[in-house]
Chain A
């Protein structure tokens, strides 16, 4: 059993064992130093990928292995709205491991937090942040609450001493000055404080010095920083830039020459979800700092950030590397002066079938030999889906072995077809659990589940109207498509495809629709929806005939489909129609299987001719088409094992049909040759060339 505390990461070794150790100088899993790939200028590593590609898992693994071995901070940038808050968290995590504890950044952050206006609640939070900073930098001891109380008390006392009247309400500047005076007088020596003030002073040399009244004790620069920050907008951006620069300069100066020569591991900052506004801003500011011209000293901070989707579009000069490229060397080199030149983008790639096989290796009982393949075909190597399904498989195997009653597929050997019916260890159906993670918004998820059955946007729109899906938006289908784009599942939604373009997501949504179908009589039932969609496509004319058939089949009505196909087979003569007929046949067979509650899956047996006796009333061509349709329908399922017999039968049936038609022989015999092979390989069935 592998433990949930330390889940193993698959197919991420180039990142974990090669790239990051070469950046930090410390091996991932052993107590050894690793030669640095970059002596001075470091790339900012940006891991990209969709939901569930394991971005956060990589960061968690890095944190787990490096905590206590080098100064390390793991910050979820999506949890904060402000860059300063991210800086505060970074300081809090990094300070204990560094020799010098942010002498430059600290007064800046304290000025910004201390001068915070706003509600009492906001002020309390800001004071708590100051307290945390003071504790992290070993300037204060005690609990956060105590330190915050002491701090507030002292600042208030200063304000009271400054202002004479009892009901004096201090202005923002006065508060900032009091905070700075408190910080400098209590926590720094005057000699060491002067250069700090000077640094801030120089950043705001052009500022209107006299406008806000001369600040006491040369706190001009810092007061202005706080002022700009609270003005917001571009001013805030400038203040954030100053603070990020202060942060990186502190990191740079905190490393002694000894540490550098001794190749002590570099500090590591792990920034999760930098597609969030604050995260993106922080990454941009770090990149800006590193891209500034001149030979200023380089900061030694190793940054590994994650981002949902792809690299930001404006990062034109970023270096892109695939995971396997990272094993030896990234060959990254700053090529331009744009900030994005400091970016090393590494898209996280799907897992291979072998990884899936390894994940299933812990099973306590022998598994179905095709299970790993089916799982891989289903998920396309998606790490989260693979791991959740594998966990569920292992759980099921374990439960079967110990004869526990569990929801989901019956105990006993697990077939590939039952994969989606598994439940997680919490008892939640796997599809529901996965969709929760992949589509975080429950509202949009609920909307996408039925809409995913529609063939294209128009059908989805019609279906939405039919289902009377509610929401603030005028066009629920469009809103759902927008949501998918926002969650980086697709860049733009094609009009002629289902809403969820991602096959895994679509499969999951369809299955969720199947699973949550509430019987035949419900408006939202499987049958009802497919009936509506069939009608919808019938009204859309001849072009949508295949779709109508597909939905008919999805509703479980194979007989009608066979009849329609048979009629066409026998009435049409020209070559073009042969192709259309094959297309119809193939497309209709891609229909999702109806819910198990309403329908028994006998497709494989039907294809093998086991139930031909039921159809003695129809002619042999119809029976042949029936077998062919069921065979193709069965094989179109992503989870179905392409059994050699079934595939061969497809060829045989097509060959039979080719002999029974007056003009389609060539087309059908070509399909008879090519389709079995394609079906075996789970490739799309090729339509014969005209």
Chain B
């Protein structure tokens, strides 16, 4: 040891030279294994850098939903504890599990914006809290991130199916599937193949149909019909114009374009009076939102009824362009007609509202929800109050920003959850209904029978709107925050909501406007108006 290593290395030196790195490596490995951050928290698995799967605990997601996710995880833990080890003197409370399958992360081109994710989760969680606050089974809200572009659904669906066979706390159904994309369609079909009841809260494409896929929102067809009813009451000058998104890969816009042309094309001569633009969502294909030509044509043709077949985020640009268009005389009012779940908060900013007022332009939107319900308390659905109670509590804790309800996501996700939880409640109570014995006593099954997903589906599909002869009655309808509506087994409705109120929103609202009659989906199929 005292000499330089000019005298070579002995066996012990060599042993050390081998052992020391080995020990260091071993220690390193152990330390790494002990301290490494799990690739994905909450038992999710990593796919292409994103955490996907199904979990009832907290996991990595957008910063602004972390608190909310933690709340959900806490509630889930509480629910599980109430079943597994209830507090002294309390009965075990059975619970079902409802999976929220949607992206929990976002970027600039993702299917859901961060705000949408936040509100959607808030709505679902509010529904969970509401369901768990009452009697009957409790619910876990499973979070099932399927990738920000909705394309990582296959493993999620596999995981979900694994939960189906749980006898004690089965998977009740799946909700989420936020937008009408080919991936969503595949996921929907796959879930339907596996006979798992699935609820799409904000689906509007009329072709998103599968036997097990329920929608709480009306489709574009119904929304357009609502617009049609509005136009019948408010015909205006009858000079129509169609502005449509020319992106070939945007199924929603193309579907809407076709629909509007079909419904209003003849009446308003839209085939001759139309202009296209390139929408901002989707891969780069040129400069988007070029509305100059459309604005010029609208002004030149003096159109007052402009149908907009595009996505909401492009609409402010059109309004701005119109307000700047010099060829407009601005003497007569213009209406821009659109459809959607709600009114995007970007469309009701003070700045844009001011612009609309100056150009005498009104946005007319057929939607699932309207702010009139909670602002003016006029015509509000019966279920909205309960929802607001829970939602406002959440809003206080997490601050969802201004106009958190306007886009309708919170309300629609709430309704989707509630639809599934109600169905499970009903299935559960029916399964455990007391049977009258010969001795007169009632006996409930022991242990309690837990309905499975098929029971839930059967409950959902059971026609809830019945014709009593002199009126239409709703049995087991969903008293949701967006109205009281149900589902029918008939193939006409394709699991779209029946009797769903479709309010038409005018923005800015005209002063002293008489309340409009609210359109109800599929109301015409009944002799009597919806209940």
Which A residues are closer than 8 A to B by beta carbons?
26-27, 31-33, 68-70, 97, 99, 258-259, 261-265
Interface presence of B91 (CB below 8 A): no
The answer on a CB contact under 8 Å between B7 and A69 is yes
**Can you list 16 pairs linking A and B with CB atoms under 8 Å apart?**
A31-B5, A31-B6, A31-B8, A32-B8, A68-B4, A69-B7, A70-B3, A70-B7, A97-B3, A99-B2, A258-B12, A261-B11, A262-B11, A262-B12, A263-B11, A265-B7
Closest residue of chain B to A33 (Cβ to Cβ) is B8
The 8 tightest CB contacts between A and B, nearest first, are A262-B10, A262-B12, A69-B7, A263-B10, A33-B8, A69-B6, A32-B8, A31-B8
The 8 A CB mask of B1-31 against A (1 = contact, 0 = none) is: 1111111111111000000000000000000
From A32, A33, A258, name the one whose CB has the most chain B CB atoms within 10 angstroms: A33
- Which A residues lie within 8 Å of B13 (CB)? 262
A97 to B2 CA separation, bound complex (whole angstroms):
7
The answer on a CB contact under 8 Å between B4 and A264 is no
* Cβ-defined partner of A26 (8 Å) among B1, B8, B11: B8
Closest residue of chain B to A96 (Cβ to Cβ) is B2
Closest residue of chain A to B15 (Cβ to Cβ) is A262
- Which B residues lie within 8 Å of A69 (CB)? 3, 6-7
- Which B residues lie within 8 Å of A259 (CB)? 1
Total A-B Cβ pairs within 8 A: 40
A99 to B13 CA separation, bound complex (whole angstroms):
18
Dominant SS among interface residues on chain A: loop
* Cβ-defined partner of A33 (8 Å) among B1, B4, B9: B9
* Cβ-defined partner of B7 (8 Å) among A99, A258, A261, A264: A264
Q: How far is the CB of A97 from chain B (nearest CB, A)?
A: 7
The answer on a CB contact under 8 Å between B10 and A264 is yes
The answer on a CB contact under 8 Å between A26 and B12 is no
Closest residue of chain B to A27 (Cβ to Cβ) is B8
From B3, B4, B10, name the one whose CB has the most chain A CB atoms within 10 angstroms: B10
A97 to B3 CA separation, bound complex (whole angstroms):
7
Q: How far is the CB of B270 from chain A (nearest CB, A)?
A: 92
| Interface size in chain B (residues, C-beta < 8 A) | 13
A26 to B7 CA separation, bound complex (whole angstroms):
6
A265 to B5 CA separation, bound complex (whole angstroms):
11
A261 to B11 CA separation, bound complex (whole angstroms):
7
**B284-318 interface (Cβ within 8 A of A):** none
* Cβ-defined partner of A68 (8 Å) among B1, B3, B10, B11: B3
A26 to B9 CA separation, bound complex (whole angstroms):
10
A261 to B13 CA separation, bound complex (whole angstroms):
10
- Which B residues lie within 8 Å of A258 (CB)? 1, 12
Q: How far is the CB of A178 from chain B (nearest CB, A)?
A: 34
Q: How far is the CB of B3 from chain A (nearest CB, A)?
A: 7
Q: How far is the CB of B17 from chain A (nearest CB, A)?
A: 12
Q: How far is the CB of A215 from chain B (nearest CB, A)?
A: 36
From A68, A99, A259, A262, name the one whose CB has the most chain B CB atoms within 10 angstroms: A262
Q: How far is the CB of B4 from chain A (nearest CB, A)?
A: 7
Q: How far is the CB of B18 from chain A (nearest CB, A)?
A: 14
A273 to B449 CA separation, bound complex (whole angstroms):
108
Closest residue of chain B to A98 (Cβ to Cβ) is B2
A33 to B3 CA separation, bound complex (whole angstroms):
14
Q: How far is the CB of B506 from chain A (nearest CB, A)?
A: 93
The answer on a CB contact under 8 Å between A33 and B2 is no
A617 to B10 CA separation, bound complex (whole angstroms):
85
- Which B residues lie within 8 Å of A265 (CB)? 7-8
- Which A residues lie within 8 Å of B7 (CB)? 26, 31, 33, 69-70, 264-265
- Which A residues lie within 8 Å of B6 (CB)? 31, 68-69
- Which B residues lie within 8 Å of A31 (CB)? 5-8
Q: How far is the CB of A64 from chain B (nearest CB, A)?
A: 13
- Which A residues lie within 8 Å of B2 (CB)? 97, 99
From B2, B5, B6, B7, name the one whose CB has the most chain A CB atoms within 10 angstroms: B7
A265 to B8 CA separation, bound complex (whole angstroms):
9
Supplied contacts A31-B5, A70-B7, 7 more A-B pairs, CB within 8 Å: A26-B7, A31-B6, A32-B8, A69-B6, A259-B1, A261-B12, A262-B10
The 8 A CB mask of B496-513 against A (1 = contact, 0 = none) is: 000000000000000000
A70 to B3 CA separation, bound complex (whole angstroms):
7
- Which B residues lie within 8 Å of A27 (CB)? 8
Closest residue of chain A to B16 (Cβ to Cβ) is A262
The 8 A CB mask of B428-442 against A (1 = contact, 0 = none) is: 000000000000000
A97 to B4 CA separation, bound complex (whole angstroms):
11
- Which B residues lie within 8 Å of A97 (CB)? 2-3
- Which B residues lie within 8 Å of A261 (CB)? 10-12
- Which B residues lie within 8 Å of A33 (CB)? 7-10
Closest residue of chain B to A24 (Cβ to Cβ) is B7
Q: How far is the CB of A158 from chain B (nearest CB, A)?
A: 34
- Which B residues lie within 8 Å of A262 (CB)? 10-13
- Which B residues lie within 8 Å of A99 (CB)? 2
Q: How far is the CB of A43 from chain B (nearest CB, A)?
A: 22
A423 to B45 CA separation, bound complex (whole angstroms):
90
A262 to B14 CA separation, bound complex (whole angstroms):
9
A442 to B483 CA separation, bound complex (whole angstroms):
133
- Which A residues lie within 8 Å of B1 (CB)? 258-259, 264
A75 to B481 CA separation, bound complex (whole angstroms):
107
Q: How far is the CB of B208 from chain A (nearest CB, A)?
A: 77
A26 to B1 CA separation, bound complex (whole angstroms):
15
A216 to B302 CA separation, bound complex (whole angstroms):
132
A262 to B2 CA separation, bound complex (whole angstroms):
13
Q: How far is the CB of A21 from chain B (nearest CB, A)?
A: 11
The 8 A CB mask of B234-278 against A (1 = contact, 0 = none) is: 000000000000000000000000000000000000000000000
Closest residue of chain A to B12 (Cβ to Cβ) is A262
Q: How far is the CB of A292 from chain B (nearest CB, A)?
A: 29
- Which B residues lie within 8 Å of A263 (CB)? 10-11
- Which B residues lie within 8 Å of A32 (CB)? 8
- Which A residues lie within 8 Å of B4 (CB)? 68
A99 to B2 CA separation, bound complex (whole angstroms):
8
Q: How far is the CB of B482 from chain A (nearest CB, A)?
A: 83
A70 to B10 CA separation, bound complex (whole angstroms):
13
A70 to B4 CA separation, bound complex (whole angstroms):
9
Q: How far is the CB of A259 from chain B (nearest CB, A)?
A: 8
Q: How far is the CB of A258 from chain B (nearest CB, A)?
A: 7
Q: How far is the CB of A650 from chain B (nearest CB, A)?
A: 60
Q: How far is the CB of A10 from chain B (nearest CB, A)?
A: 26
Q: How far is the CB of B2 from chain A (nearest CB, A)?
A: 7
A61 to B10 CA separation, bound complex (whole angstroms):
24
Q: How far is the CB of A32 from chain B (nearest CB, A)?
A: 5
- Which B residues lie within 8 Å of A70 (CB)? 3, 7
A27 to B7 CA separation, bound complex (whole angstroms):
8
A70 to B11 CA separation, bound complex (whole angstroms):
17
A33 to B5 CA separation, bound complex (whole angstroms):
11
A69 to B5 CA separation, bound complex (whole angstroms):
8
- Which A residues lie within 8 Å of B12 (CB)? 258, 261-262
- Which A residues lie within 8 Å of B8 (CB)? 26-27, 31-33, 265
Closest residue of chain B to A30 (Cβ to Cβ) is B8
A262 to B13 CA separation, bound complex (whole angstroms):
7
Q: How far is the CB of B365 from chain A (nearest CB, A)?
A: 86
A259 to B11 CA separation, bound complex (whole angstroms):
10
Q: How far is the CB of B8 from chain A (nearest CB, A)?
A: 4
Q: How far is the CB of A74 from chain B (nearest CB, A)?
A: 17
Closest residue of chain B to A258 (Cβ to Cβ) is B12
A225 to B334 CA separation, bound complex (whole angstroms):
128
- Which A residues lie within 8 Å of B5 (CB)? 31
- Which A residues lie within 8 Å of B11 (CB)? 261-263
- Which A residues lie within 8 Å of B9 (CB)? 33
A188 to B7 CA separation, bound complex (whole angstroms):
32
From B1, B3, B8, name the one whose CB has the most chain A CB atoms within 10 angstroms: B8
Closest residue of chain A to B5 (Cβ to Cβ) is A31
A27 to B3 CA separation, bound complex (whole angstroms):
15
Q: How far is the CB of A251 from chain B (nearest CB, A)?
A: 15
Closest residue of chain B to A32 (Cβ to Cβ) is B8
A33 to B9 CA separation, bound complex (whole angstroms):
7
Q: How far is the CB of B6 from chain A (nearest CB, A)?
A: 5
Q: How far is the CB of B13 from chain A (nearest CB, A)?
A: 6
